[in-house]
Structure formats: structure tokens, C-alpha cells
Amino acid sequence: MALDPVAALELRSVDLHSPRNNKGHHTQEMGLKRLIVRRGQPFVLQLHFNRPFHPGTDHITFVAETGPAPKELLGTRATFSLTKTRGGNVWSVSDFTIDSNSLFVSLFTPANAVIGYYTLKLEISQGQSHGVTHLLGTFILLFNPWSSEDDVYLPSEILLQEYILMDYGFVYKGHERFITSWPWNYGQFEEDVIDICFEILNKSLYFLENPSKDYSQRNNVVYVCRVVSAMINSNDDNGVLQGNWGEDYSLGVSPLVWNGSVAILRQWAARGGQPVKYGQCWVFAAVMCTVMRCLGVPTRVVSNFRSAHNVDGNLTIDTYYDQNAEMLSIRKQDKIWNFHVWNECWMIRKDLPPGYNGWQVLDPTPQQTSSGLFCCGPASVKAIREGEVHLAYDTPFVYAEVNADEVVWLLEDGHAQEILAHNGSSIGKEISTKMVGSDQRQNITSFYKYPEGSPEERSVFIKASRKMLGSRKALSRLLDLLGSGGFRNQPVQLQLHLARVPEWGQDVQLKLHARRVPDRAHPQGPIRLEVRFCAQALLHNGSTREPLWRQLVHLNLDFGEEVQWPLLLPYDNYRNKLTDEKLIRVSGIAKVEGTRRFLLVLKDISLEPPHLSIEVSERAEVGKALSVHIALTNTRMVALTHCTMVLEGSGLIHGQIANDLGTLAAGHTIQIHLDLYPFKAGRRQLQVLISSDEVKEIKSYKAIFVAAARAF
């Protein structure tokens, strides 16, 4: 009697083991329903057939495809057969085990594979005839900083916890002497954020121009970073955010209103890719941090205080004052931002000579074009520190942001009369990022430049100047600066100090400290000073509004004498005249009577907003009520009107909670009690923002550790 032929192999079902694989690939926070894996790392599949699989006689082939027109030549299609062991950094399926009618296989994606959505198919060969093709399912492939073969490899679990897995953080704002930490909800693991990230890539001009070519380059982290940098702003395309550095936000919302990235990304996606109004530098950078961490690139947000925007690339920023101490907003493109915020992404730079791997600057704020689009970077932080400004991308621009010199001029009848100050170290101060594993600020200025005034710093500056300006211009500029040293030899030292902490809604009390010192023109004897003071609202871009306060002071100073002169800037003078940042620049120009000599004294003042307190019940647990108590006392002399409150926090709140609070009278307190129900365990951050017509950014946060739900 003849034996029955073996039945043809038929696929009955497939299990992608998404929960198990996602946990192994550090993507479980994005959800467990879909398979989301990282390249350069195997994941397990279970195929269930109509009969046991026979390795010797059954022939199965796997096909992985991504993009609009998958091709093996472009790296968007891969075909690979079952083998016993994996061989090298290529698509493979191996290490299989057979259990009854089930076949367990390990699928490996190369560490240089294109990231994105993949379809996975199985072809079962039936002898000489054509095989049968089955769709096994889909998966999402991300960069893998845990893989030593990946260009984003970061060999530190502590750093990976911070720069990939941490879904909240801080953006540092304000002024170099009053740095404020602004809590931010990155929310890169909210379930729809990963889809929005790939939608961003698919709306880029590169994709619209040539979709297949764009997809084929998505294996390259340098390429992906540049695309995202261009797509976060909307200057060339339907990017995520529209910038607004004016003061009219009536067609959208003030950049100060945002608590996190998720609401911005969701609004952009829900409106079909229409830019969200409005963003400024810290919003652009925080949203880019969300996108890059979600895609698997270690990323942090960096703030540079007194950041130069040097359009003509001459490494000099000129500012102007008149004899009445008014800072003049002459129409010039060069600026010194009070602070500017960008990103650093961690990667290997195979496109550069050895030695420039690691942190790279990427700046999504639209300041100037790069290869025709408003994007910036990646520029190697090491290259910036060493003055290697010829290295790609946009290194001269970033170098100037942290190293340009400031020259302050006295203007008379529209002409620059003399140099009041030449500051070689006033740009690029207190470069800051969040400290790893802490809510503290880390000063990383030394990563960008050698100590100011050190031989190494001057040597690097001269090298960069020669590369950017040419040898002749660099030399003439150096001679100009050496020749402008006369202003340093002055008969008086002037300083402005705050008499107490300046609070919005209160008078500002200052002291002028003057000390007579010897100089060549006045070696001894008394001198008389006429000091004109001017206060102006200081804008984020470093320019000012019209004067809001003036004062004239006459001082007689004998040799060796010191005096302190009180100055009062009343609240009524600045009420309704400041920008949302609540910054004031007080300038003084002192004229030495009987001479043509002038001295400059400056003080920037950041007014403190009212204090917001947040208290929570002692223990937070997934699924259990967490009691939150928020209190705001208006200690100022005026009411806060149209108060609104927004709460946000990934793992604590789905989306946002918003409430209208009405008017908070002077001296009164608002108290809010509410219960939250955390839905994710681990370290979380609750952010609270209260805005009013008078003060836009009354903000605070509470770090909360959420315990996993207790098993019963």
C-alpha cells in the first residue's frame, strides 16, 4: 500500500508576540498591540501551520518591504530564507525551533536598515510551481541606540534612560543671570505620536519630490535629522510649527502657553498637516526632541544664553546706544538673543573625519537656510569647540552663536562716534541642559569652547576667523580690536545692583555703585559725572521697546571715593509695557564732565512671577486616585484677570485638563483640588501652567513616582 503524500504546508495563523518583543526592544511604553522594534536586534515570531514544519523539504521565504515602491537596490525591500544561524549584519531569519505544528523563528534586521513601517510576507514554495504568499503582518522599525552596530549607539544605560526613555524634562529660559527651568512634557511614548513622527517625514519636501529616494535614505541618521530639523518649522513646507516673534498671537496661541509636545503634534496631525500657531525656539527644540527620541535617536534640549545670530558671518555683533542711554533698535539683521534653544543628537559621523562623533547640534528654529531649506545641522559639538568650521553641516553659524564678539557703540546724529565696550566673552554664556537622572541644570559651556580668554580659546577663535573671513580680514579685525582698548582705561568703575529680588507688580529698587580709580587722563583729583539712565522692555530677540523710565544723576567723586546712589523704577512705569517675558534693560551712560569720554553701565532685570505650589498625596499607584492640591497666592498690588489653568503629564493625564479660574484679586489665593488616575508606572512629571492677561507664565511642576498596580 502506497504512503500518503505529505500534505502541502499551509499557514493557519501567526503571532508577532508584540508584548514580548516590544519589551525586549524598549518600546513597550508605545503600546503592546503593535509590533514596534529596533534595528540590529532580533525579534521572535510564531508561525502556526497545518502540520509540523520539515526543514529539509519545506521551503519558506520571508519578504520585508517599506515605502511606496519597494526595491532591493534602494534598501526598501529584503528577501531572505530560513537558516539555522544568523550570518552578519543582513536581513535574516534563523534560530528556529519546531513545536508540534508551530515554528518559532528569530528575525534579525540589519543595524543600517531603513526605519519606518514594514509589511512582512511569507512565501511557501510548492515544488516547481509558484508558491503561495501570506501577509504575516506589519511592524515599525526604529533606530537602535542599544545596538553597537547602529550609528546612534550610546554605550550607557543611564544615558539611554535619560535621552531615549525619559518622556519629560526641562527647557532653560530667561537670562544668563536669572535662568528659569521650564518643565516640558515630551510624551514620545503616547500611542499616536510615533505615527505622527512618520507623517512628518512623509510631508517633507524631500519625500514629495522623490518618495522612493527619500525612503531609501531613511537608514541614515544624518539625513533623517536634517529632514526633521526642516519639518519642525513651517518656513518651506507644511511643517509642524509656525514661528511668531511679534506680540500678536490672536490667530493662534502664545508660545508661552504650551506645556508639552503632544498637544502640538496632535493638532498638526488632526488638521491635515497645517502648521500650528505659534512657536519660538524652545517650542521648536522641545518638539524636535520628542520626534527624535521617539524615532530612537538620543536627544537633548540645549539652551545658549546671549546667543548671537550673525547673519553676515563676520563674528561681530554691533549694538548701539545714544547719549541718553537708550538702546537703539537700528534695523539690522544681526541679533543677540537673550537665550536660544536647540537640540543635540548623539550619532556617529561617518561623513566627517575621525574624532567628531557624539553630540551634534541640530536647530529646527528657522534662522537661515541650509542647502536651500530652513534647517540647521548636524554640526559636531567637538568641531565647534576646535574651530573646525569647514566641517558639515552649518558649523560656522553655530560657532558664531557661541563665540561672536559684541561691540557696543555710542551713536550721535546717526553716526557711530566711539566704542563704549568691546566684549569678547559676552556671547555664548551658561550653555545648559538637564542633568542626567536629576531635575538640576547642567552647565555644558566647556563642551562648546575653551575657557574665555584662555590661550586655547584665542587660538581657536583666530583659526575659525581665518576660515570664515579669510586671513587678511581676520588680521585687520584683530588689529581693530587691539586698537579699541582705550575705552578700558576709565576714571570710574560703575555697576548697577538690585537692592532686593524684583517681583512683577512691585517697584524695582536699584543701586548705582560708583568707584573712582586712577587713570592716565585723571591721575588724581575729583571728577564730575553726569549719568543718564533709561529703562526699556527687553525682547526675546535682544532688541528693546521705547523707553519707559528715565533719570538723570550728577555725581562728584574724589580720588579713591566710592558712592552708592539709590534708583527707583516704579511699577506704574512698566505696567502694561513689558513683553510676556517680563524683562527690563536698565542702561546708564555716564559723561565725564569737561571731556568727551563716556562710560556704559547695564543691568538686565527679570521680574519674578507669583509663586505656584503643587502638593500630591503620598503614594501614587496605577489606577488609584491621586489627590492633587494646587494653590496660587497673588502677592502683587493688582488683580490677575482671565486666569486659566492647564495640567499635563504623560502617564498621569490623557491629553490635558484645562479650567477657567476667573479673576484673582490682589492678596487673594486660588485653591484647586482634583483627583488624577495614573495609568503608567514609573517616574512622571505633573505640569501646571496658570496664565492671566497680566502674567502669561506662572508655571510649576511636581515629580511623581507611580507604583505599579498591586496584584491581588
Q: What is the pLDDT of residues 56-86, one digit of tens each?
A: 899 999 999 999 999 999 999 999 999 988 8
Largest CA distance in the chain: 129
pLDDT at 289: 98
Q: What is the pLDDT of residues 329-369, one digit of tens each?
A: 876 678 999 999 999 999 999 999 999 999 999 999 988 87
Counted residue by residue, the chain has a size of 712
Cα atoms in the Cβ-side hemisphere of radius 13 Å centred on 673: 3
Is residue 151 within 8 Å of residue 112, measured between CB atoms? yes
pLDDT at 199 over 80: yes
pLDDT at 334: 86
Q: In what order do the strands lie in the sheet with 36-38?
A: 36-38, 129-142, 116-126, 59-65, 77-81
Choice between 236 and 285, residue whose per-residue pLDDT is larger: 285
pLDDT at 581: 85
> Measuring CA to CA, how many Å separate 553 from each of 529, 534, 564, 565?
8, 12, 12, 9
pLDDT at 701 over 50: yes
- As beta bridge partners, residue 134 has 122
Is residue 242 within 8 Å of residue 277, measured between CB atoms? yes
441-445, 495-499, 616-620, 704-708 — which is least confidently predicted?
616-620
pLDDT at 329: 80
Under the banding of pLDDT at 50, 70 and 90, the label for residue 128 is low
Cα atoms in the Cβ-side hemisphere of radius 13 Å centred on 438: 7
Q: What is the pLDDT of residues 475-512, one digit of tens each?
A: 555 555 545 544 556 789 999 999 999 999 999 999 99
209-218, 279-288, 456-465 — which is least confidently predicted?
456-465
Q: Which residues, other chains included, contact 44 with Cβ-Cβ below 8 Å and sequence gap of 6+? A: 17, 20, 21, 104, 105, 106, 107
Under the banding of pLDDT at 50, 70 and 90, the label for residue 323 is very high
Averaged pLDDT for residues 623-649? 94
Task: Please provide the average confidence, as pLDDT, over all residues in the chain.
Answer: 93
Task: Work out whether strand 508-516 and strand 492-498 pair parallel, antiparallel, or are unpaired.
Answer: antiparallel
- Residue % of the chain over a pLDDT of 90: 80
Q: What is the pLDDT of residues 540-597, one digit of tens each?
A: 888 899 999 999 999 999 888 899 999 999 999 999 899 888 999 999 999 998 888 8
pLDDT at 473 over 80: no
pLDDT at 1: 46
Radius of gyration over every alpha carbon of the chain, rounded to an integer in angstroms: 30
> What are the grid coordinates assigned to 387, written together?
574651530
Residue positions annotated with a catalytic role = 281, 340, 363
Q: What is the pLDDT of residues 1-39, one digit of tens each?
A: 444 568 899 999 999 999 999 999 999 999 999 999 999
DSSP label at 4? P
Q: Tell me which amino acid residue 38 is.
A: R
pLDDT at 170 over 90: yes
pLDDT at 475: 55
